[in-house]
Chain A
Amino acid sequence: MSLAAAIRSRDVSTLPSRRDEGWRWSELASVVRAAPPLAGAITVASGGGPFAELTADEEIVFANGQGDASPLVVEGERTVKLRFVTRADAAASLSAVSILVKAGGSLTLLESYEGEGEAYVADASLDIQLENGARMERIVVAEDAETAVSVSTAQVRLSANADYAQAVFATGAKRQRIETRVQHPGAGAALRMDGVYLVGGHRHADLTTAVTHAGVDGTTSQMIKGVAAGSGRGVFQGLIRVAHGADRTDARMRHDALLLSDKAEIDAKPELEIFADDVSCAHGNTVGALDDAAIFYARQRGLPLHEARVLLTEAFVGAVIERIEHPGAREVVAALAPRKLEALTC
């Protein structure tokens, strides 16, 4: 049962456990032992959050789950901020939003998870649909409290010739999962599914994606980079499924992770499920430490060890950030990364 359903029904007995294949590394059963009450109302001033400096056509705020739940319909070119703000202790917030980008429309979604408090439980669900030839770039910055449980699930349906790109920047929580499931029709639609997770302390971040190519001539490109330090744990589960007859699909998935501490952990499952023969699919996965030779090289040029590590780690995740198209969002994430890394690598 989903987290939202468990909170609504106040029945946590069916929350995913380690035995549930899709949650083996991010089970919720042991971290949400009792159903928390719904969090009370709060007031959130507009104009805050990680994208505060950027201008947008519209700002949608869910404050402890309360917000304008009417569908966001986009025609023409729009930039929209979507903020999920939770300020609660041992209470739950549930948010749901649906987005429709009309044919020929273009949306830049600046999405943020802004959490403060102790042991709150947050669930957000997004339903995203792109009509023919629509474009969308979704940039997600997720900053939750270390003791929080936060799950975001997006269902994305693409139409022919749509262009959907997302970049998720996750920093973890007690459990933080950002899941994206995409129905890809092929038909000239293009998909980019990028992400970065940076976890330290006792934080856990899970990027889960599932893409189903249902028709011919679709492309998917995925680049995920992760860094785990302290006792942090990073999880990447990526599935690309190519349905019977979805010929000429070109799908590439990459996940590379750095482990900066012997207590940290990275778990990955890059999965391909192919039911068509005229396809070109590949995935690559690496997990390891920073390259000693590169560190030595940087130090030989005078950088102290700590700076050398930050510099190299920044370069490592930078490859994903560079792929963000929206210049402002790219700058925001590019500025955020070193701050987070600085904290992780000391």
Chain B
Amino acid sequence: MLSIENLHVTVAEKAIIRGLSLNLPAGEVHAIMGPNGAGKSTLSYTLAGRDGYEVTEGSAVLDGVDLLSLNASERAAEGIFLSFQYPLEIPGVPALTFVRAALNAQRKSKGEPEISAPDFLKRAREVAGSLKMDFEMLRRGLNVGFSGGEKKRMEIFQMAMLQPRLAILDETDSGLDIDALRIVAEGVNALRAADRAMLVITHYQRLLDYIRPDRVHVLAGGKIVASGGPELALELEREGYDRYSKAAA
């Protein structure tokens, strides 16, 4: 589904990603692990199309579509969803209004009609229920005054509402206590599907106890330095990143 070839990315003229290649087939969940500064967030922002992340070489293709030629909203319409490490606050715009605007913008780009208000609300209630979210929270300004955990839950809510083809979860476990982590992970697992791929970016192995990856990649020094099954995550947890950091340097 997602195919990244020899990707090079610079941020503020500094090379961060240096020759990263990755294949993520439909239906699979891959984890990207790595030490701080390895380029994990850069990878997620680059895939989502953030300005200032300049691709100097390489390609990123989603089901035959060249992602790098699209802007952020066009990529979203292609089915890329980034769960932000630090979700933004948007005062004055209730979460429900926001998600509906996003959903309809994506439907419009696919030539689909807008979702009706009753259908939308019904779905929103179901999803909120499954994530054990207070529905009233969805009527308040998006993420305004929310705790870290509430914001992360709101990201998963949006993901469930938008039904992306490729979900990128950037440090989704940070700021979550153990109960919130379980609920968020259940929300993510519920979205695992044969026609959907997920990229789980994390520093710690903890999240992977709840979201079992099909494959684990180690990102260090801007490229994938090792890949393996779920057991690789446990090894990293035991032995740390030192070996890979040194190898990358």
Judged by CB atoms under 8 Å, the answer to whether A and B touch is no
